[in-house]
Structure 1
Amino acid sequence: MENKTYSDTGSGHTIVFLHGFCESKQVWEAFTQPLQQHFRVIALDLPGHGNNTQNNSSYSMESMAEDVKQQLDELGVQQCLLVGHSMGGYVTMAFAEKYEDRLKGLCLFHSSALPDTDEKKENRNKTIGYVEQHGVDNFINPFIEPLFFRGNREKLKNEIELMKTIGKQTPQKVITGALAAMRDRPDRTQVLQELAIPVQFIFGKEDGAVPLEKALEQCHLPYNSTVHFLGQTGHMGMFERKTETQQALQKFAETIYAGSQA
């Protein structure tokens, strides 16, 4: 199982988890355990991350969404609740744009349908240059800790170290490719507005990556949306507010699957 690009546990209706930038399916390991009692839980490695060594010349959100579709096809998943953290949420939106019929619902977990601002694009370019010049370790070490709210960092030291370990295993070309792909992703707020499926948003009030005003710009757009704002939480709710986010996701999954046959 160790070399697989996915984990597949539990049974019943399916929830699929996509990790974020410089992460792997491993970030969901502890988080998804209670959900496995009630659902089939699948966590995927996106191309270039974790055990997914697929050699992509392009790390676009669209190409990663195609990889997700291929993995779901191989796993026999016809429909699922798709949960995307950060960059995984960008992939989720690309997937929803093309394959909405494969989704019962989606969750943007500290993520966004909005494109990068000009300032953020410039920051992505600077980061690409930094990674190319100084290497992966020098980038990851200062990158991870600020993803967590300051007040949570001491108690979550082990989780921060886990994130650093996972991040340092990400090849340099994957990091720079993913940064460029995030920089170039389109505005998908129109997709969000036109979705017929339920959408769940989980936001951290102290999230520097998805600021509160950006969260508020989009959470009202879907026809059917459920929104959770988490106080004293940065970008990593699966660690910072594990129980609350587990319960929110479970409730959302139970609602969208109510009355459906597994």
Structure 2
Amino acid sequence: MASLLPTILFLHGFAESREVWTDFTRPFPAGYRLLTPNLLGHGTNRAPVPDFSMEAQARYVVSYLDQKGCPGPVLVVGHSMGGYVALALAERYPDRVAGLALINSTAYADTDEKRQNREKNIGFVERHGLEKFMDSFVRPLFAPANRDRLPEALSLLEDIGKATPEATIAGALRGMAARPDRTAVLREAEFPVLLVAGKHDVAVPLADSVAQAALAPTGAALFLEGSGHQAYLEQPEATRRAVLALAEAALAH
């Protein structure tokens, strides 16, 4: 049976799971249906994954929406890799997207340097193990001022990351490295778009977010002084307000 409530779909990032959205989504109004799937290979979604491309993840998300009785357009909120999946979904299935929120994400393809760094990370995990990788990977994602201020948030991401299969880590890193430029999705969007960026984001340069903010015909941007790559954890109130404003615009009908 199709859902009668306007629906917001939250897509988590690399080496994360649906659990990262629990605190962020708790204050959302009851008038929305909130969906938080585990992407392929992440969280409890442990079936064998032959294809970790962003396109394969998008196909999975569409099948998930079908299973949940959501044949119509939904607001898609994607963090980091979840944003890459959201863009692939919007490119291939634009009729399923009522609005798009990219949190610490980008429509640009990886640079050569970024692709090389992803391969280096795969090599590090193979040599030293996932636990050691996550111990060094998570902390720099937060703005310097938040690294000691938010110990529970850091621990949450480290624990989820350490429980993620190594095959998922390697597959997701290579899937992200292979994705194409999708700035055309923003330029041609017939739905409202929100970009949320952190000044101290080491993964998505602020200049990239500034450049992309003007691409969508109907767009808004939130630039957070006190945030790194984890805006929904570092500045949850401001990020939540921006997402809810987008939801009102995208799902008003």
TM > 0.5 between the two?
yes
Counterpart residue number, 2:28 = 35
Change (3 A) 1:11 1:237: farther
Distance 1:257 1:72 in 2: 16
Distance 2:139 2:103 in 1: 18
Counterpart residue number, 1:6 = none
Instruction: Tell me if 1:164 matches 2:149.
Output: no
Counterpart residue number, 1:16 = 9
- 1:54-73 superposed Cα distances (whole Å, 9 cap, x missing partner): 21122000000000000000
Counterpart residue number, 1:60 = 53
Instruction: Tell me if 1:238 matches 2:232.
Output: yes
Distance 1:109 1:54 in 2: 27
Runs of 4 or more consecutive aligned structure 1 residues displaced over 6 Å after TM superposition: none
- 1:122-165 superposed Cα distances (whole Å, 9 cap, x missing partner): 11111111111211111111100111101011120011011100
TM-score (norm 1): 0.93
- CA-CA distance at 1:217 after TM superposition: 2.0
Contact 1:11/1:38 (<8 A) preserved = no
Counterpart residue number, 1:224 = 218
1:121-132 equivalences under 5 Å are 121-132=115-126
- 1:188-244 superposed Cα distances (whole Å, 9 cap, x missing partner): 111221111111110011111111111122111111111100012101111110111
Contact 2:226/2:235 (<8 A) preserved = no
- Using the aligned pairs only, state the percent identity: 44
Distance 1:160 1:228 in 2: 23
Contact 1:11/1:39 (<8 A) preserved = no
Counterpart residue number, 2:78 = 84
Contact 2:192/2:249 (<8 A) preserved = no
Which residue of 160, 180, 186 maps to 2:174? 180
Counterpart residue number, 1:110 = 104
Which residue of 69, 72, 76 maps to 2:62? 69
Which residue of 120, 124, 129 maps to 2:114? 120
Change (3 A) 1:55 1:205: same
Counterpart residue number, 2:198 = 204
Distance 1:37 1:252 in 2: 16
Structure 1 spans left out of the alignment, 5+ residues: 1-9
- CA-CA distance at 1:36 after TM superposition: 4.3
Match of 1:229, SS? strand
Structure 2 spans left out of the alignment, 5+ residues: none
Contact 1:11/1:41 (<8 A) preserved = no
Distance 1:97 1:68 in 2: 13
TM-score (norm 2): 0.96
- Count of matched residue positions in the alignment of Structure 1 and Structure 2: 250
- 1:19-68 superposed Cα distances (whole Å, 9 cap, x missing partner): 00000000000100111423111101000000111211220000000000
Query: What is the one-letter code of the residue matched to 1:15?
Result: I
Distance 2:198 2:30 in 1: 26
